[in-house]
Amino acid sequence: MNDIVKAEIANPNPKSTINSYRSFGYNLSTAIADIIDNSISANADEIRIEYKWNGKSSFISISDNGIGMNKEELVLAMTPGSKDPEEERNEKDLGRFGMGLKTASFSQCKCLTCISKKENNKIVKRCWDIDFINQENEWQLLDNVSDISFLEKIEKQKSGTLVLWEKLDRIVGNAEITNERVKNAFYQEMVKVKQHLGLVFHKFIESKRIKIFFQNDEIESYNPFLLNLNPKPEMGQPEIFDNVEIIYFILPHMSEIGQTDYEKTGGSLGWFQEQGFYVYRGDRLLVVGDWLGLQKKRDYSKLARIAINFTNANDFNWHLDIKKSTATPPIEIRKELDRIARMAIMKSAKIYNWRGQKTISESGNVNHEPLWMDEKTREGIKKYKINRKHPIIKSLLEENSKLVGKALKLLEDNVPIELILSNQNEDPAFHELEKQIDKPSDELINLAVELYKINVSQGVPKELAQQQIMNSTPFNLFPLINEFLK
């Protein structure tokens, strides 16, 4: 370029920039998964997640036995945008933008400390404290750690790294240690993290490339294609297009598997939500149960699941985002994906001939709170119960536990099962159980807003209140509702 006239260097403001890193749309599970990506890229085979409830002094740590970093490498890792996104990556590298450590951490906490040790090197530590940056308005790393015991954990190892999150304002806020509501919400979120990690890294766990420990308990893999079912799912032949591997799985009819396996895999509701494509990048799961705009979720297609696996060399073709939660297939293979999807859906439709009540068993494996649950009595009779953990029901019980409890019991004892069965037998199409509408009603939005305000007034941090509502039926079906929870 000719005749370029340089003007000023416009350095970003530290205070506003680092606070903007907090708004990339992570939740606690996706944020921790992003940190684990770094551990895998550092050749770790053991990763440990530890946490402690202590009110506003609670913490979460993620440590590994990877190759670790020296001081120069650690400072670079703590520097925003430290890697060139266009730089060629090692095939095992799960990173891309050089932002994950910072954006994932700041989405959940205000104080990020990273402690690392490279083989035959001294242990090093660096800390970003958003309160300090806001005060000084400088990109000032600190050589601090809140407790020497975190240093000792890594010092004992030949090499490794520990990421420590403190000042968890997005999860616990300023809650006192005696606040049971926030404490329980904190523990519930950690249970979701454990389930999420078992799913996202299931291929790594199954192939014994890594072990992930959660408060010293080893996380078991959850394979979304349910290969351990009896009878086994039908498995198609792998097809490869532009270095992308695609393979479909068709689950067996629900009546063919045992009750335990059926409940463990989420029952009818779980199977409905989990149909579609599963997009992997280097064996790391990015997208769970989504037809990628090629098809719609339907009851008769819920036995179809399709695995897509691409390498990090395809990142830009798939429009991978920073938090690695969305991926858009390149136009070159969309036709093939649609063809395979149609074939899998047709196979699913041939097997499927049953519709069930929209409930979830108590042992079901789901990441949201349904309104209804089912359970068996001692006499072997199925009973349907309203889920007391659903946020709306929970709030009602807290307001007037005795009267509301009696009303719920009355409803449960008078579910019109005979009428439902009669209508179903008369016309199987009478009940459209999974009606998919694009927008929530005003009444549903107002209900969510009212529930959100109640939770916040009781000390639940705003972000956590949002997450809990958006993880509940039917709010989870309408992401738009989240925009009203401010």
Distance CA 457, CA 196 (A): 29
- Residues 6+ positions from 28 with CB-CB distance below 8 Å: 108, 171, 189, 190, 192, 193, 467
% of the chain with per-residue pLDDT over 90: 44
Residue 345 CA to chain centroid, in angstroms?
26
- pLDDT tens-digit profile of 139-183? 899 999 999 999 999 999 999 999 999 999 999 999 999 999 999
**Per-residue confidence (pLDDT) for residue 256, from 0 to 100:** 78
* Residue 38 backbone dihedrals phi, psi, to 5 degrees: -65, -40
pLDDT at residue 398 is higher than 50: yes
Considering 47-56, 81-90, 421-430, the range whose residues carry the highest mean pLDDT is 47-56
Alpha-carbon separation of residue 171 from 45, 56, 72, 312, 315 (angstroms): 28, 9, 32, 32, 31
Residue 362's pLDDT is what?
40
pLDDT of 411 strictly over 60: yes
| Residue pLDDT, tens place only, 471-485 | 887 888 788 888 888
Q: 222-231, 239-248, 254-263, 303-312: which range is least confident on average?
A: 254-263
**Cα 372 to the chain's mean position, in Å?**
23
Would you state the structure tokens that stand for residue 205, as one six-digit string?
Answer: 């766990």
Residue 104's contacts (CB-CB under 8 Å, 6 or more residues apart) are 26, 30, 31, 32, 34, 35, 323
Q: What residues contact residue 86 under an 8 Å CB cut-off, 6+ apart?
A: none
Question: What number is the average pLDDT over the span 38-65?
Answer: 96
Give the span between the Cα atoms of 195 and 485, in whole angstroms. Answer: 26
From the CB of residue 58, how many other CB atoms can be counted at a distance below 10 Å?
A: 21
pLDDT of residue 434: 46
Cα 312 from Cα 224, distance rounded (Å): 22
**Amino acid, single-letter form, for residue 244:** V
Q: pTM for this structure?
A: 0.72
Domains of the chain and any CATH numbers: 17-218 (3.30.565.10), 234-351 (3.30.230), 364-484 (no CATH)
Average pLDDT over residues 374-387: 79
Report which of 276, 263, 259 is spatially closest to residue 225, judged by C-alpha positions. 276
Whole-number pLDDT of residue 94: 46
